[in-house]
Amino acid sequence: MNMKQAPLIRTTCPYCGVGCGVAVPAGGRRNTPVSGDAAHPVNKGRLCSKGSLLGETTGLENRLLHPMKNGARIGWDEALDEVAAKFSSVIAEHGPDAVAFYVSGQLLTEDYYVANKLMKGFIGSGNIDTNSRLCMSSAVAAHKRAFGEDVVPGCYEDFEEADLVILVGSNTAWCHPILYQRLLAARARRGTRIVVVDPRRTATCDEADLHLAIAPGADLALFNALFCELAARGTADRAFVEAYTEGLAGALKAARSAHPSLAGAAKACGLDLDTLETFIRWFSETERVVTAFSQGINQSQSGVDQGNAIINCHLLTGRIGRPGMGPFSLTGQPNAMGGREVGGLANQLAAHLDFSDESCNLLSRFWGSSRVAASPGLKAVDLFDAVADGRVKALWIMATNPVVSLPDADAVRKALKACEFVVLSDCVAGTDTAACADLLLPAAAWGEKDGTVTNSERRISRQRAFVPPAGEARPDWWIVAEVARRMGFADAFAYRGPADIFREHARLSGFENNGRRVFDISSLSGISDAEYDALSPVQWPLREGGGTARLFAEGGFPTPSGRARFAAAAPPQRAGPSRFPFTLNSGRLRDQWHTMTRTGLSPTLGSNAPEPAAEINGHDAARLGIEDGGLVRIVTAEGAAIFRARVTADQRQGSLFVPIHWSGENSAGSAAGRLAHAARDPLSGQPAFKHTPARAEAVAPVWQAFLLARREIAKPQCGYFARRRVEGGFLYELAGIAAGDAPPDLDSLAGCTAERIEMHDRHAGALRQANLRDGRLEACLILTRKGKLPSRDWLIGLLAEETLGEDDRRALLTACGAGAAGAEGRIVCACMGVRAGAIHAAIAEGAGDVAAIGDCTGAGTNCGSCRPEIRLLIAQHEKDEAA
Ligand code: SF4
């Protein structure tokens, strides 16, 4: 196919909750050009590094292409029959609550709708929960408590129309990059103040006017203090409060109870009084305020209370639902919101219905089923506990990797291994969860699926297929509907395609609604297939004249009284000193997504942060003998894992941070989930990933090495390894930790090919070996017991050479190749592929700011997420010059 002539398919990015539109040539596979959709209202043609490099991830590497049973390929009929038969027999013998689905914010709304309908509508159990439980279920519960329904009241334009934007527990610059760039563009026009509330100094702080580096878990104390001060200083909007809210007096009393004085609140937050006073004054004197919050608020044992504490401040000041104002929950996943619309959370029914008798009856009538679940099911952590203790005997996991992502992940692995029957439907094959499943069902991947997703601002966008499904992959909705048919529910699941499902979903949203539920898209229930195909992005609820950007400026809350509810709680007591003196935090990196099953396919995205690094403050590191670039073991009550140490002033003393992206597939278990405790918010059930008690220990490796190989090798058996894709092959960082960790050689790691060159210096403890075939580099191992390892970049470049000349061979064995000193360096700007070496060179030639470096190299000129890192390089250069 001539790619230049292929028509462009407009679809939606599969990564974060910003929900950018992208355009891809029809038929495009690996390295297909992906561009931003200029007509999409969210991004207007822009993409971040992950979106820009989607083309590097759409190949067939690691795809699950056929149904597999215990490692052997089987046919679709056999696989579907087996799932239906096993689930039916468990239900017949043990009841509907003995089966469960664990699904994902990666599913499209249509997939989600069908899965939820099968479990809650026809199997008759509430046991379907989603990995969105780990992400934003506290925000959902806070919305429901305050507004009566899970509704985000504002829109992205509010970030552009605000005069003060407060980003709480959100590294927006990395995790919601295009929305952050919209904010920065607006700031350049109108001078928006930006406040970041985060114990960690993140890239988002780079542009902040004020960074409140509060103590971990002090968000409730902070926003309770703000709430009380706003009330005391006369900032309340009395008319709004009287007309549209209830419960103010009780909430103020609760908020004051723990810290009656501002000085007490400042102490609890770990802030000086002046800083806290500045924050309160800015909020108080600014009408147009947006408070955006994300995982730092949600992933806490007080996540719901923290969300309500933020909402309280906006209700009190009436700053909600008007341009540039409101509390705003930033969702992590592309379709977390769509999952919430259809009841993907175990404690919700479809169409924002609760588990009341009235709602269950409504659904019974709509679906024509007498089996609708009457009570909520198990939330994620409880669900896997039930798998572990045998209450759940058959589990179907869809499009997610809980063995890596759930807290206390080793216990999840054990639970799956012990479970009678585990089905995994996914588009990828080699995941930690796949290794625990009895049956694997190949699902269509991004680019092969058709349906809708809803982003953080309630905007429904189409995901459209631009290639046919690979191998025997099928859409998730089809797989679920086929199982439903085999379980005896054929009539209720007779969908011809996603448009049928969407129309039913839309019809349900308006069924006996009569204005009681805000979520209403029933005006789309009669659209034709062609209109569905052409559907433009639109925000729900859909009313006369189209979508709705903002809600609640004039009340209309879907509570029994029609009023919003203030809800405040005192912060919980902190635990005293323990054998785990650190607070372990976890989160995302700029260029990776979840457990790297897709972004890990991109050599460019893997270059910026090549290894799992644990961040620790310099004072803590010095006290513990941990060196920057050395190894550190993080230990919690749940487990232990080894990381590369990054010593940085960005961390508070007493805090640690690890990324969430590594797994047992690409590392020796440097997975954040293995360390995280299973403590959770009592209302939402969301795990408190931000606050696991931990300790840190220096690790002295007995040897260190790296292996560069053209092909993937079996997992190395040593105390530490981290694998990433590079241009033309794979790079493995390796280290021996225990005395028994014997140093490897190329034979044990990659075998021996036609030609071997090697240098072994026993005295210095150095080994350098290379396999060549027809003069071409196949693999090389560089190992040292005492010294430093050379730059990888030059060696990676050798994979592109057809034959190695004498100079290259000599340089390989002496590790002194051109560029071995690291002239190229890691990729700083993933969008434009610009490495640190090029930026250093531009600085040396006189480029003194980010714009000048952009002019010279292109770095920082696309999504802008790398600009903080470029500034750091400039600052480092200036420091070096001054020294
Ligand atoms: Fe995708 Fe980046 Fe847009 Fe998020 S901000 S939707 S990851 S392009």
Q: What tens digit of pLDDT does each residue of 739-768 get?
A: 888 889 899 898 877 799 999 988 888 999
Tell me the C-alpha to C-alpha distance, in Å, between residue 800 and each of 804, 819, 836.
10, 15, 21
Non-local (6+) Cβ contacts of 134 within 8 A are: 299, 380, 405, 406, 686, 687, 689
Is residue 5 predicted with pLDDT exceeding 80?
A: no
Residue 591 tokens read as 């260029």
Nearest atom in ligand 1 to the alpha carbon of residue 52 is 8
- Measured in degrees and rounded to the nearest 5, phi and psi for residue 768 equal -130, 120
User: Could you identify the atom of ligand 1 that is nearest to the CA of residue 15?
Assistant: 7
Instruction: Give the other-Cβ count within 10 Å of 51's Cβ.
Output: 26
Cβ count within 10 A of residue 406: 28
pLDDT at position 875 is: 87
pLDDT at residue 597 is higher than 70: yes
Cα(451) to ligand 1 centroid in Å equals 18
Instruction: For ligand 1, pick from 10, 24, 47 the residue to mutate: most ligand atoms within 8 Å of CB.
Output: 47
Half-sphere exposure of residue 463, counting CA atoms within 13 Å on the CB side? Answer: 29
- Ligand 1 contacts (CB < 6 A) are 13, 15-16, 18-20, 43, 47-48, 50-51, 177-178
Q: Which residues pair with 784 in a beta bridge?
A: 704, 766
Tell me the Cα Rg of the chain: 27
pLDDT band of residue 82 (cuts 50, 70, 90) is: very high
Contact between 11 and 464 (Cβ < 8 Å): yes
Element (H, E) at 380: helix 380-388
> For the residues 767-777, what does the mean pLDDT come to?
93
In this prediction, residue 578 carries a pLDDT of: 85
- Cα–Cα distances (Å) from 48 to 166, 194, 263, 831, 870, in that order, read 22, 21, 41, 7, 16
pLDDT at residue number 231: 97
Q: How far apart are CA 561 and CA 565, in angstroms?
A: 10
C-alpha 767: how far from chain center: 40
Whole-number pLDDT of residue 817: 61
Residue 820: predicted pLDDT: 44
- Ligand 1 mean position, distance from CA 58 (Å): 16
Q: Which of 10, 13, 593 to mutate to test the pocket of ligand 1 (most atoms within 8 A of CB)?
A: 13
Task: Please say whether the beta carbons of 864 and 870 come within 8 A.
Answer: no
Which of 11, 12, 20 to mutate to test ligand 1, by most ligand atoms within 8 A of the CB atom? 20
Cα distances from 240 to residues 290, 322, 418, 784, in angstroms, run 17, 12, 55, 69
Angle at 876 between CA 874 and CA 880, to 5 degrees: 115
As a whole number, mean pLDDT of residues 441-462 equals: 97
Contact between 17 and 330 under an 8 Å Cβ cutoff? The reply is yes
Cβ–Cβ under 8 Å, residues 329 and 340: no
* Helices 219-232, 248-258: inter-axial angle, 10-degree rounding: 120
Under the banding of pLDDT at 50, 70 and 90, the label for residue 823 is very low
Checking if the pLDDT of 815 tops 80, the result is no
**Mean pLDDT over all residues of the chain?**
94
Distance CA 807, CA 817 (A): 8
Q: Peptide bond preceding 541: is omega within 30 degrees of 0, i.e. cis?
A: yes
Looking at residue 4, its pLDDT comes to: 56
Rounded to the nearest angstrom, the distance between the alpha carbon of 59 and the centre of ligand 1 is 20
Mean pLDDT, residues 286-294: 98
Contacting residues for 386 by C-beta, under 8 A, at least 6 apart: 100, 378, 392
Contacts of 490 (CB under 8 A, 6+ apart): 484
Each residue of 496-538: pLDDT tens digit?
999 999 999 999 999 999 999 999 999 999 999 999 999 999 9
Question: Is the pLDDT confidence value at 821 over 50?
Answer: no
State the distance from the centre of ligand 1 to the C-alpha of 589, rounded, in angstroms. 13
Cβ–Cβ < 8 Å for 210, 296: no
- The span from the CA of 270 to the CA of 266, in Å, is 6
Q: Please state, as a whole number, how many other Cβ atoms lie within 10 Å of the Cβ of residue 84.
A: 18
Q: Tens of pLDDT along 230-284?
A: 999 999 999 999 999 999 999 999 999 988 899 999 999 999 999 999 999 999 9
Instruction: For residue 740, list its beta bridge partners.
Output: none
Out of 57-61, 113-117, 273-277, least confident range? 57-61
121-133: pLDDT as tens digits: 999 999 999 999 9
User: What are the angstrom distances between the C-alpha of 804 and each of 15, 209, 776?
Assistant: 40, 53, 6
The CA-atom distances, in angstroms, between 555 and each of 229, 321, 551, 631 are 24, 9, 8, 55
The separation between the first and the last C-alpha atoms of the chain, rounded to the nearest angstrom, is: 57
Of ligand 1's listed atoms, the one at least distance from the Cα of 22 is 8
In eight-state DSSP terms, residue 118 is: I
- Looking at 154-158, 658-662, 878-882, which range is the least confident one? 878-882
Angle made by CA atoms 491, 366, 519, in degrees to the nearest 5 = 125
pLDDT for position 818 = 54
User: Residue 830's closest CA among 504, 539, 607, 600?
Assistant: 607
Instruction: Answer for the pair 474, 427: CB distance below 8 angstroms, yes or no.
Output: no
What integer is the mean pLDDT of 343-363?
97
* 270 Cα to the center of ligand 1, angstroms: 34
Rounded to 5°, angle at Cα 516 from 510 and 521? 30
* pLDDT average, residue stretch 38-48: 97
**pLDDT of res. 30:** 86
Q: DSSP 3-state assignment of 598?
A: coil
User: What are the tens digits of pLDDT across the range 636-649?
Assistant: 999 999 999 999 99
Q: Parallel, antiparallel, or unpaired for β 766-773 and 564-565? A: unpaired
- Tell me which residue has its CA closest to atom 2 in ligand 1: 48
